[in-house]
Structure 1
Amino acid sequence: MSRLLYENSVSYKGYLIIPFVFGKLDNYEIYSYKLLSEVGHTSQFHKAENPAGIYGSNVSNIVDIAKEYIDKNSEFVNRKDNFKSRYIYRKNLIIISQEGDKYFYDHYPPELLNNIAAPKLFKSEYECLSWIKQGLNGEHLHQRTI
């Protein structure tokens, strides 16, 4: 599998559709997708790879296939867009979440959907993003209590 194309991800009805190049056939790329669910592991589609089993010829085509599958098979009604604060830095996906006055993040590397975030809380989205960027840049920070 090639890297996940986070920069082409689409938030849709409580899911994040993440395309990737599945393979090549006669110099044409074949696209597939993975899903993240806003309800996490309670969803059978959280971290699922192409549950529709249909592949596409380009990014927009595979996103449409995923949306159609979600429309027909969604397990819940979307409450809010938990994926609206997402960023790509050095091909890594960072999703910032807020509960009350605290911020935290999920961090997914370019090749797989394994959350490698540190269990840390922040006072602002900016502080959270700064800490992540420093970590991805190889800078080491002293642990601070927030």
Structure 2
Amino acid sequence: MSRLLYENSVSYQGYLIIPFVFGKADNYEIYSYKLLSEIGRKSTFHKAENPAEIYGSSIDNIVDIAKEHIDQHSDFVSHGDSFRSRYLYGNNLIIIYQEGGKYFYDHYPPELLNNIAAPKLFNSEYECLSWIKQGLNGQYMRQRAI
């Protein structure tokens, strides 16, 4: 599996659709997708890989396939967009959340849909992003020094 194409992710009906290149056939890329759910593990599709079991010929095609599957099989109704504050930094996906005047985040690396965020609260979205960026820059510098 190639890295997750977070830059092409689409928020839809309480899910984040994240495409990736599944493979190649005759020099054509075949696309698949993974899902995140705003209700987390309470959804059967949280962190699911291609629950529609249909592959696409382009990013737009696979996103449409995922949307159709969500429309037909979603196990909850969303009342907002939990994924509107999402950012990319070094191919990492950062999703910022606000609750009770405090900010926290989820952090997903480029190849895995595993949240590696530290359990930390912040007073602003800017403070949260700055802390994450500093941590990722420090990690990058440590990796280059090895």
Determine the structure 1 residue equivalent to 2:31.
31
Q: Can you list the C-alpha shifts for 1:25-71, whole angstroms capped at 9, x where unaligned?
A: 01000000000000000000000000000000000000000000000
Question: What is the percentage of aligned positions where both structures have the same residue?
Answer: 81
Determine the structure 2 residue equivalent to 1:119.
119
Structure 2 gap segments, 5+ residues each: 140-146
> TM-score when scaled to structure 2?
0.94
1:137 is paired with a residue whose SS is: helix
Report the alpha carbon displacement of residue 128 of structure 1 after superposing the two structures with TM.
0.1
Determine the structure 1 residue equivalent to 2:143.
none
Moved more, 73-82 or 110-119: 73-82
Determine the structure 2 residue equivalent to 1:81.
81
Partner Cα distance (1:136, 1:20) in 2: 23
Determine the structure 2 residue equivalent to 1:4.
4
Determine the structure 2 residue equivalent to 1:91.
91
Determine the structure 1 residue equivalent to 2:50.
50
The one-letter amino acid of 2:55's match is: Y
Partner Cα distance (1:39, 1:80) in 2: 12
Q: Can you list the C-alpha shifts for 1:110-129, whole angstroms capped at 9, x where unaligned?
A: 00100000000000000000
The one-letter amino acid of 1:39's match is: I
Report the alpha carbon displacement of residue 95 of structure 1 after superposing the two structures with TM.
0.2
Relative to its length, the structure with more helix (as a share) is: 2
Report the alpha carbon displacement of residue 80 of structure 1 after superposing the two structures with TM.
1.1
Over the aligned positions, Cα root-mean-square deviation in angstroms equals 0.7
Partner Cα distance (2:78, 2:39) in 1: 9
> TM-score when scaled to structure 1?
0.94
Partner Cα distance (2:53, 2:85) in 1: 29
Q: Report whether the alignment pairs 1:129 with 2:132.
A: no
Report the alpha carbon displacement of residue 79 of structure 1 after superposing the two structures with TM.
1.4
Partner Cα distance (1:61, 1:89) in 2: 26
List, as ranges, runs of 4+ consecutive aligned residues in structure 1 with deviation greater than 2 Å: none
Aligned residue pairs total: 139
Determine the structure 1 residue equivalent to 2:62.
62
1:60 is paired with a residue whose SS is: helix
